[in-house]
A and B are shown apart, each in its own frame.
Chain A
Amino acid sequence: MSMDEVMIEMKNVTKRFLLPQGEVTVLEDISFQAREGEFITMCGPSGAGKSTLLRLVNGLLQPSSGEIFYQNKIQKGMNKETSMVFQNFGLLPWLTVAQNVELGLEPRIREIQARHDKVHHYISKVGLEGYEEAYPRELSGGMKQRVGLARALAVEPSLLLMDEPFSSLDVLTSINLRNELLDIWSDRDNMVNTMIMVTHNIEEAIELSDRIIVLSNRPGRVAGDIKIDLPRPRRKRDKEFMEYVDRVFSLLA
């Protein structure tokens, strides 16, 4: 695949849900492209349909109207080349760290040793060596999210999706994990090609991503698509950083 190939494209996607109170339009007329190698953030207030958008991207949900293309082909059903990191970690409490990371691999890698090698490789990548046999109950939030990340990375997705990955973590842990995410993202060994993250935290979006798609609220519409042209690491106190914050903020107002 050549660089700059379009990984995901949404064309005029609308998503409605039928609720007891009637039909609700959660997302309206969403169009955007995610290109290979990009780290994109969907930024918007709670309720803007960001999580719904991620589940349209991975094929868990189907659009009510409009089209979704993955690598230029119409997407049908779950996209097996994606995986997701969840806000509340999503770990199975009766499984150890290693078993949780191994979960997505069982259907993909039949040979046990090969699976264990892969699990070990990604446990190492996220800094969880030493915790393989620990249970989620023994882990801090930061460690739990590392497990979530290792599990998502272990299936070697082309597209990594993250749904408010730092929102359940305390301030200091979030700072640490964001930086580690950037380390992993820039790792040359990295199999992940494109990342789409959802957050309501504007500063986080600017700190991490190449591009921000700003979503307005109820129904969610694309209010803006901003390229972040700053070298990493990005400092919140820098004038240019703050200018981006203003830009995003004004699109949401």
Chain B
Amino acid sequence: MNSSSSEGDKRPHTSLPEIGISQILGLVELLLGKGGREDIYKLAGELSMELGETLTVVKAAELLGLVHTPGGDVEVEPFGAKVIDASIPERKDLIREKLEQLPVFKNVREFLKREEDAEVTREEVLEKLAELIPNDDAETTFSTVVNWGRYAELFGYNDDSQTFYLDL
């Protein structure tokens, strides 16, 4: 099987923070309740979270285009407000649109499309991720990819057979 890195997005891929969708949405909701902007350090204190952990959630939200980080602050983007305003199903659609643009997800989806007739296994995706984001632990990235990918219904994953599929 061709694990081809000559195809697909060749930009350096950013790490995927290991943060769930609920926490990301919760962050945006919290910020909106405070007028849309807060100092990150202060936020960490208020949430009784480690600064590092807070930064990870902020980074994840930023990756999804929900917030940006001017100075030492985190501020909700109009897209972020739109996502929170949306209904539960509409949210998924909005997030899917953003996710489809992220290089890692684009790559994984293209990979799945190419292998349409064959089964794509967990191992194959892990290998792909290790290739795309060599500095990170592939297992961690894998679980975030599966988590966000499932939420946005970009693809499905079955842990019994350990296979991915596109059929949504």
Residue numbers of A with Cβ under 8 A of B are 124-127, 129-131, 133-135, 138, 140-143, 169-177, 179-180, 183-184, 235-236
Contacts and interface: CB of A to CB of B under 8 A. Distances in A.
A64 B156 CA distance: 51
A174 B143 CA distance: 21
Interface of B: 20-27, 29-30, 33, 47-49, 57, 84, 87-89, 91-92, 143, 146-147, 149-153, 156-160, 168
A12 to B, nearest CB: 41
A234 to B, nearest CB: 10
Q: Is the interface of A mostly helix, strand, loop or mixed?
A: helix
B147 to A, nearest CB: 7
B151 A172 contact: no
B92 A133 contact: no
B159 A176 contact: no
B153 A172 contact: no
B87 to A, nearest CB: 7
B23 A133 contact: no
B48 A183 contact: no
B22 A140 contact: yes
A142 B22 contact: yes
A70 to B, nearest CB: 31
A191 to B, nearest CB: 16
A21 to B, nearest CB: 36
Given A134-B159, A183-B87, A143 B22 contact: yes
A140 to B, nearest CB: 4
B158 A172 contact: no
Q: Which one of B87, B143, B159, B168 has the highest number of Cβ atoms from chain A below 10 Å of its Cβ?
A: B159
Contacts, number: 80
Interface of B: prevailing SS: helix
18 contacts: A126-B88, A127-B89, A134-B159, A135-B159, A140-B23, A142-B22, A143-B20, A171-B26, A171-B47, A172-B47, A173-B26, A175-B26, A175-B30, A176-B22, A176-B26, A176-B29, A179-B84, A184-B88
A130 B168 CA distance: 8
Given A172-B22, A172-B27, A173-B20, A127 B33 contact: no
B30 to A, nearest CB: 5
B23 A170 contact: yes
B88 A175 contact: no
Given A130-B152, A177-B22, 9 more contacts: A126-B88, A130-B153, A133-B158, A140-B23, A143-B20, A171-B26, A172-B26, A173-B23, A176-B26
A133 B156 contact: yes
Contact of B89 (A124, A140, A174): A124
Contacts of A174: 26
Given A127-B92, A171-B49, A172-B47, A138 B159 contact: yes
Contacts of A179: 29, 84
A138 B146 contact: yes
B158 A127 contact: no
A99 to B, nearest CB: 12
